[in-house]
């Protein structure tokens, strides 16, 4: 499917659900350039993002790292996410970076 037809199809689905569509958004990638994640992969990314965004906003005293460790979910995080989440003293730069992951979340 071409980027134009995917955009048209997606917008039609949104309109059918009564969701407003911004006409000025760009086309999306081609089918070949797109990887659709499984439900499990999406869940893993959401949990990882939830944890790092939470720590970025609430700080080192938050319970996100403990929850991830208690549930054995460390493998769901990237190396950089693990380093940040389990660090005692995150840098301001890392906190800012991971606070922006709210956009991906």
Within this chain, do residues 27 and 74 fall inside the same structural domain, yes or no? no
- At residue 89 the predicted structure's pLDDT band, cuts being 50, 70 and 90, is confident
Which long-range contacts does 59-66 make (Cβ < 8 Å, 24+ apart)?
60/87, 60/88, 60/89, 60/90
> Given a cut of 90, is residue 47 above it in pLDDT?
yes
Within this chain, do residues 43 and 29 fall inside the same structural domain, yes or no? no
In the prediction, which pLDDT does 23 show? Answer: 83
Compare 39 and 6 and report the one with higher pLDDT.
39
Within this chain, do residues 65 and 50 fall inside the same structural domain, yes or no? yes
Angle at 17 between CA 42 and CA 44, to 5 degrees: 5
With 0-12 / 13-18 / 19 or more C-beta atoms within 10 angstroms meaning exposed / middle / buried, residue 65 is buried
- List the structure tokens of 46: 């959401």
Within this chain, do residues 30 and 48 fall inside the same structural domain, yes or no? no
The structural domain count of the chain equals: 2
| Residue % of the chain over a pLDDT of 90 | 62
Rg of the chain over CA atoms, in angstroms?
18
71 is in which domain, residue-wise? Answer: 39-102
> For 27-37, what is each residue's pLDDT tens digit?
777 778 888 89
């Amino acid at each position: 499917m071409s980027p134009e037809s995917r955009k048209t199809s997606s917008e039609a689905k949104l309109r059918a659900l009564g969701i407003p569509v911004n006409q000025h958004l760009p086309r999306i990638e081609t089918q070949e350039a797109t990887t659709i994640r499984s439900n499990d992969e999406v869940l893993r990314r959401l949990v990882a993002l939830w944890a790092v965004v939470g720590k970025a906003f609430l700080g080192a005293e938050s319970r996100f790292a403990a929850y991830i460790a208690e549930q054995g979910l460390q493998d769901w995080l990237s190396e950089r996410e693990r380093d940040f989440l389990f660090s005692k003293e995150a840098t301001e730069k890392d906190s800012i970076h991971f606070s922006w992951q709210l956009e991906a979340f």
